[in-house]
Amino acid sequence: MKKLLVSLTLLVFCVTGFAQTPEEMKAWQDNMTPGKYHKWLAAMNGEWNATVKMWMDPSQPPSESKATTTNEMIMNGLYQRSSHNGEMMGMPFMGESITGYDNAKKEFIATWIDNFGSSIMLMKGQLDEKTNTLTLEGSMLDPASGQDMQVKEVFTVLSETSHKFEMFIVMGDQEMKSMEIVYTKKD
């Protein structure tokens, strides 16, 4: 009897809790279907060589290093996973981002993690289709101060085999370029 009561309760919950109108079902379907912005991300899939420039002090020349990146679409083409390997400040560096386009919110969303910290960076932004440039804004933790820093990332497609990433630290209405990476597709 107890099993029958539990089964009936689950059945009633499933029927009433998950019943949706055709409009609600369409909204869910639209949200889970990759679109043109997901295809834009997918065009950067593959293996890439990276030339990295970092500015620790804007009055000094940047440090330069080499890295590699692998991009792949995951979750039925809704997100791009980007895995980075290289060297930074004489130490091995690994980082990973997940970037997607949120069909419901109509914006790109990206996360970043790496082995140089335990914080997760979250960025949001829009694609300028005329210039083929994705601009993301968000914040990251400054471990020295314990405070969030405002950051901006600009990702520009230069050609089918090259793109550029720039990162800026935003302080009020001023921006300081902290990183530039030029990616070239491996053969």
What are the structural domains of the chain?
Answer: 1-31 (no CATH), 35-185 (2.40.128.20)
Q: Could you give the count of Cα atoms lying within 13 Å of 79 in the half-sphere of its Cβ?
A: 12
The two tokens of residue 144 are 């020295």
- Each of the 187 residues of the chain gets a pLDDT tens digit; together they read 556 554 555 555 555 456 588 888 888 888 899 999 999 999 999 999 999 999 988 889 999 999 999 999 999 999 999 999 999 888 999 999 999 999 999 999 999 999 999 999 999 999 999 999 999 999 998 888 989 999 999 999 999 999 999 999 998 889 999 999 999 999 8
- pTM for the predicted model, two decimal places: 0.84
E strands present in 60-186: 63-74, 79-88, 91-102, 107-114, 121-128, 133-142, 147-159, 162-171, 174-185
Nearest to 72 by CA among 49, 38, 104: 38
